[in-house]
Amino acid sequence: MCVELPARSSRTSVPGVKRAETLEQARKLLDPRPLDFTKPNPVGTDAASDPSFYLEVPERYEGSFKLPGPTENIRQKLLTGSPDAKVFLSGHVGSGKSTELSRLAVDDEIRARFDVLTLRFEEQEWATLDSSQVLFRLAGALFGRHKALLSDNARIAKALKDINQRLFDAGIKVEDATVGLELDLVVLKLKQDLKLSEGARKRFRDFGETQQSILQDLLRLMNEEIEEGLSKGEGPSEILVIVDDLDKVRGAAEQSEIFDKNLNALLVPPFRVVYTLPTGVFFGQNHGDVRYNVEHLYPVRVLTKAGAHFDPEKAYTDERQGFFDALVASRVEKGLLTTDAIHLATVYAGGVLREFFRLLREGIRIATYNRLDVVDAPVMRYALKDAMLRESVGLYAPDYDALLHVHQRNALRSVEDRRYLDLSRALECYNAAVWFEVNPLLWHLLERHAKA
């Protein structure tokens, strides 16, 4: 899926959504979906994505110096970097990556300089993505956006038809159709087959292993044709693609294929690209240079190192609580959720925005089931007990051993244990240096395991 941006004037006049006056309304507005700056003024069930709800994540300071955040660092790298710059945004699941990239896509300087296209993979694709599919989807998104510039290019038409015939042994024939329509159908057919057919994906993987250069050449041809066409107009003449769902690739084998064995495939497109990156992926010795182009979006800092105890509320630091209070106040009328309830959700979410909203909604669920009009601390504690029970599902003795090590040492035992980050069992935190902690919902279980 690719995203078209609204006219620039629309982003300066967002009226905002009326705040919730009942718990049922609050449940809808506390939906943890990303904010979408490309679609201002959403209505109905999409109201929770209204960009007027955006609040700046608390800034980092070193002494008296204010430090730019990860989104600003990416913005600067795109504006000052090379024409084929590649930047990665890493962050804990639910830390706000999609919201930050949506905001970046409508930044005035970015849009003045670049033709911005956001590419998102659909949920059913996440488990089967590989590097060749990523390249093809990049080509398909560019073609969909700029078909008027690309349809009459004989070399591009030949490349797309060649890919189609090599993979499926049959070209698409459309009687009395334009080249543009025929190529539209080729792109659509390949895209749908890759989503629905494991056989098609296997053929595409085999194709990519031996002939990925065809895809790379296709992207190069498209880039040349698009930028030449854009240069004749009055708008931006350079391409920027934001690929927003690669962080959803969770399987170890899939992550290795894309981010290790075939990382070069992500680096070869001849235009600027921002990729999201799973937290569990770390570019080590083989890709040390790439590591300097990774920006990290950490959870909001609400925990200190616990040491020997297992009580998240004792490890809580309140220096960022005002941010979470403001998040709720922007969406919900005062009094529907008490200060203590919001505080508990902050602590046990570990500073993760999506988890914070999820816990508040769990409190609302229990309150409404009991015909209560307010979520207070006792209600939230019941919600937390239920959340703890759910979080324990699927954990085995080796998992408890690994997570106990994380909690007691604030470190991972091995590279393999980075998978707990992708599973939201562990958090990547920072102070003067990066350290790790276990999801606070699991601390009480770790205490039992330590005593066993």
Q: List per-residue pLDDT tens for the chain, 452 residues long.
A: 555 444 433 333 335 578 999 999 999 999 999 999 988 777 777 899 999 999 988 877 766 778 889 999 999 999 999 999 999 999 998 999 999 999 999 999 999 999 999 999 888 888 888 888 899 889 889 988 998 888 888 888 888 878 777 776 544 444 444 555 666 777 777 777 777 778 878 877 787 777 788 889 889 999 999 999 999 988 899 999 999 989 999 888 889 999 988 899 999 999 999 999 999 888 876 677 888 899 999 999 999 999 789 999 999 999 899 999 999 999 999 999 999 999 999 999 999 999 999 999 999 999 999 999 999 999 999 999 999 999 989 899 999 999 999 999 999 999 899 999 999 999 998 876 889 999 999 999 999 999 88
Burial letters 339-375, b for 16+ CB under 10 A, else e: eebbbbbbbbbbbbbbbbbbbbbbbbbbbbeeeeeeb
Give yes or no for a contact between 425 and 390, defined as CB atoms under 8 angstroms apart: no
pLDDT the model gives residue 168: 63
User: 198 to each of 141, 170, 250, 262, 265, how far by Cα in Å?
Assistant: 22, 18, 18, 20, 21
pLDDT the model gives residue 234: 86
Dist CA 226 CA 232 (whole Å): 10
User: 353 to each of 116, 375, 384, how far by Cα in Å?
Assistant: 26, 19, 16
CATH of domain 65-297: 3.40.50
Residue whose C-alpha is closest to residue 390's, from 349, 343, 441: 441
pLDDT the model gives residue 200: 77
List all residues 6 or more positions away from 289 whose beta carbon is below 8 Å from its beta carbon: none
Helix (H, G, I), strand (E, B) or coil at 265: helix
Report DSSP state, residue 30. T
Dist CA 417 CA 420 (whole Å): 6
pLDDT the model gives residue 6: 46
Residues in a beta bridge with 65: 62
Which residue in this structure is represented by tokens 């569990």? 280
Which residue in this structure is represented by tokens 């749908």? 192
Helix (H, G, I), strand (E, B) or coil at 91: strand
The residue count of the chain comes to 452
Helix (H) or strand (E) holding 116: strand 114-119
pLDDT the model gives residue 181: 60
Dist CA 52 CA 40 (whole Å): 8
Residue whose C-alpha is closest to residue 365's, from 348, 347, 384: 384
User: 152 to each of 145, 147, 181, 183, how far by Cα in Å?
Assistant: 15, 9, 11, 10
Question: Which residues of 255-402 form beta strands (DSSP E)?
Answer: 272-277, 294-297
Burial letters 425-444, b for 16+ CB under 10 A, else e: bbbbbeeeeebbbbbbbbbb
User: 133 to each of 63, 126, 269, how far by Cα in Å?
Assistant: 46, 11, 13
pLDDT the model gives residue 4: 46
pLDDT the model gives residue 295: 94
Dist CA 39 CA 10 (whole Å): 9
pLDDT the model gives residue 179: 53
Report DSSP state, residue 257. I
